[in-house]
Structure 1
């Protein structure tokens, strides 16, 4: 204990000794099969050491400067590095990192040719020089500060956690937490500094330009990278083993035995504080809502204490699009608010969006029916929020997009496609479990098929193919086709969340917006039914997505029941029980994967998964033996209660005012259905768990089942004949 206290006296982190001149290093990596251009797979980044984390005002101002330099099409580095097509997009490291003792500003470019490294460095210096000479556009600065004001007022479900994680690095270094939380004071100080010194931000940029503590890091692919890495690791392992005496090896073996015993030991957690089911409320809190109609368009209205903010969601059904256009719909969502309109260029539109809203979001919306299997809503979700004082401008921007969007600028479209493809390629190593689940789920559910098209590996591969096209004009023509087919109110429904003070004006602006949108209202909510998928008995299928990564992401999907079915609650509790008491110990603790679990999707698909898994076939064996573990019936009543509490952690998660009523609007789950589901969860018994496990996981189960694996080549899969493995195209 004494030594721990003594150690605590020496935990302060000293500042880095500043370099007198920049340094340059080069590293290698494995080739990326998802790269749109095989000849442009290199990455370059320039990182600059900045202020001490405890200098709260300086850190805040550098964060503002970073956004001005790299965020959005009006940013200086965006104009000089992204638009000229030197690279595919910013590297993930780009931006300002204020999490370390010495904060860091970095600008990186991925998808570049190694021959363009020096060109990048020239442009980096020239861009900062131009900023120092000419400064920033006033509206650009105001847009960034407006975003900060929005973030202060915007309430999110994880506000508390976000706040804690945000101040923790500063706390670790004994910074002034209260000062850091007074964001409005920091904004006021910055405004005062800029008023007193018009070149204030330019001088901050000049400090970056003249800084000598700068690292230039370049990275290029090497064909035999994996072979060299394996040889290096093998050499390191041999050198470690060579230093071990027989006694050391015996100790390592004994420690392994002790670890296994500890992993299999039943833990006594009775001494820990815990919730009980009796502590939970039996009834849900009713969310008051009203249904209005403007020009035959239904509008769900939820009046909440939103802190002077208005939240708008619009869903437009897309089920009538052709399959070809549906495949391009995710790309349309990416570009439709970033191409400009007949009134405003893409830069002007982005500037207005930042000045008046929290962003103009467009995304695919695929929501399963709560009462019917293999039935879902296929649409696009338009979403935004703004301060009440900007409500007219916010609706005006959406009206402009619906009526006057301009999808004509081929060069701008090429830039967006290139950035989108590069960004997706970066996600495989981090989101492999999502892609594996999506791939397996697409084989057992029609809504899963659509989700795979919209956000799975098939979409990643499609974007790679599009980015490789020499001429994107035909694709841009299809973007225009999509806009003409869906940017209307034929199949539209809307939702508003706002504070009561400005209700009259908000509803008036809502009505004006709807009246401005072209089209004749028909059916606001259209469901897609795939009866053939339901009736056709499909054999087990499995897909292996081969990627040059040294780890696996495994998934197994089983189709079960819809949300309102009597088995849904039991399956949800069973999934949580298996996750914590069986899958985590077997796959994470013993198998060495970073994570694993079993989830039940709204469509009623059970999804087993593993994350960053060194194993593959062994993991599938664990998945397959889940029913055996349930059948052994060795879990306790306390285990069942913990599983229920784990489910309620999600069910009872805080819902911010701006998102109240969204379960009903987005998924058709109103308060009555929520209450029924809550009651069903609370009354799940051991027998219910045993029943649904045997019915859907047992050997005699008639449920559709599929598997997917994202990872390196794996010949062992071909030995699993009954699973019908096939290679999926990258």
Structure 2
């Protein structure tokens, strides 16, 4: 899902580069470079070391650091003392030139060209499918409706179409800030599943949901909002994502306000996005499956005039 959403926003692209399939490809490339002959390996390791030093020098600048400390009052006083010592040690660390980072950032290949529709061939016997559609941010009033819609689609449509009819182990929809995500796993029929994803939105836009359906979906959203938080994680949502208690409460109120008309309205807008053949920047698709998958034979790529797939072979 992370890769499918990478083309939707810079935030989602960063997630993919740091923790998605693209990160695995980067590590795979580095491992291949290190595995070269001994003389070339030394140059590769030296190059990596210099870049890591430059990154360390860049990120440890005081103006780029922020800290979150948790604990009781007495413990925090001790923690602040050690934090001051840590910052003093950083200020005495030798600085490394950032010229390598500047050189990298000016390279046209610095940010890889992420295909919006990619098939990753891996040594699997089944498929993993994901589709992402552009969605509003957390502070948008519409985001609450997207979250409720995700649960409605998962339990009222996608479970039946993907698991019961399609034979996949599971699947559903998830609403995240800036991305509305569909997924399936251990799926024998990925193309049918992709069609089910699109049909799910059309189904929602033409359906009159009952109040009980909306209520059950809201309860699922509130379970996500009210999950237990450990003492050590309190405040991290605000620290990492800028979501304050006031913003969280505003979002809860917006979830309460979601009704059938809002669900129909946003699903109709999503249908319009999907039907706009002139602009595909707001949709991403990824399938992971076997190299011999009959749905992704190289010669068949691009026969569908609407969707052009990139095929990537991943060796694990």
For the 8 Å contact 1:626–1:697, the answer to whether it is kept is: no
- Per the alignment, residue 628 of structure 1 pairs with 202
Match of 2:252 among 669, 678, 691: 678
1:650 and 2:214 equivalent? no
Match of 1:517 among 83, 90, 114: 90
1:485 and 2:58 equivalent? yes
- Per the alignment, residue 459 of structure 1 pairs with 23
More contact order relative to length (CA 8 Å, sep ≥ 6): 2
Match of 1:705 among 265, 283, 292: 283
- Aligned residue for 1:544, secondary structure, equals strand
Q: Distance in 2 between matches of 1:506 and 1:444?
A: 40
Q: Distance in 1 between matches of 2:180 and 2:225?
A: 18
Cα drift, residue 631 of structure 1? 2.5
Match of 1:504 among 73, 77, 93: 77
Q: Distance in 1 between matches of 2:12 and 2:68?
A: 26
- Over 3 Å counting, the alpha-carbon distance change for 1:507 and 1:484 in structure 2 is closer
- Per the alignment, residue 580 of structure 1 pairs with 155
For the 8 Å contact 1:617–1:717, the answer to whether it is kept is: no
> Which sections of structure 1, spanning at least 5 residues, go unmatched?
1-436, 520-539
Cα drift, residue 599 of structure 1? 1.1
For the 8 Å contact 2:144–2:251, the answer to whether it is kept is: yes
- Per the alignment, residue 591 of structure 1 pairs with 166
Match of 1:557 among 132, 153, 156: 132
For the 8 Å contact 1:569–1:680, the answer to whether it is kept is: yes
- Over 3 Å counting, the alpha-carbon distance change for 1:503 and 1:463 in structure 2 is closer
For the 8 Å contact 2:70–2:76, the answer to whether it is kept is: no
Equivalence map 1:431-450=2 (5 Å):
437-450=1-14
Equivalence map 1:15-164=2 (5 Å):
none
> Which sections of structure 2, spanning at least 5 residues, go unmatched?
93-114
Q: Distance in 2 between matches of 1:722 and 1:443?
A: 17
Q: Please report the TM-score for the alignment, with normalisation by the length of structure 1.
A: 0.36
Q: Distance in 2 between matches of 1:553 and 1:669?
A: 32
- Over 3 Å counting, the alpha-carbon distance change for 1:502 and 1:454 in structure 2 is closer
Q: In proportion to residue count, which structure has more strand?
A: 1
Equivalence map 1:389-400=2 (5 Å):
none
Cα drift, residue 506 of structure 1? 2.6
Q: Distance in 2 between matches of 1:693 and 1:642?
A: 18
Equivalence map 1:139-288=2 (5 Å):
none
Q: Distance in 1 between matches of 2:229 and 2:65?
A: 25
Write the deviation string for residues 599-652 of structure 1: whole angstroms up to 9, x where unpaired.
1222x2111111111111100110011122113325322111111111111100
Q: CA RMSD in A?
A: 2.1
Write the deviation string for residues 561-587 of structure 1: whole angstroms up to 9, x where unpaired.
111111111111101111111111110
Q: In proportion to residue count, which structure has more helix?
A: 2
Cα drift, residue 683 of structure 1? 1.1
Q: Distance in 2 between matches of 1:513 and 1:481?
A: 19
Cα drift, residue 729 of structure 1? 5.2
1:473 and 2:46 equivalent? yes
Q: Distance in 1 between matches of 2:86 and 2:54?
A: 23
Match of 1:660 among 234, 240, 248: 234
Match of 1:607 among 181, 196, 201: 181
Q: Please report the TM-score for the alignment, with normalisation by the length of structure 2.
A: 0.81
Equivalence map 1:271-420=2 (5 Å):
none
- Per the alignment, residue 68 of structure 2 pairs with 495
Q: Distance in 2 between matches of 1:468 and 1:728?
A: 17
1:725 and 2:309 equivalent? yes
Write the deviation string for residues 310-362 of structure 1: whole angstroms up to 9, x where unpaired.
xxxxxxxxxxxxxxxxxxxxxxxxxxxxxxxxxxxxxxxxxxxxxxxxxxxxx
- Over 3 Å counting, the alpha-carbon distance change for 1:462 and 1:491 in structure 2 is same
Structure number, greater radius of gyration = 1
**Runs of 4 or more off by more than 4 Å in structure 1?**
699-703
- Per the alignment, residue 120 of structure 2 pairs with 545
- Aligned residue for 1:724, secondary structure, equals coil
Q: Distance in 1 between matches of 2:246 and 2:218?
A: 20
Q: Distance in 1 between matches of 2:302 and 2:192?
A: 14
Number of corresponding residues: 274
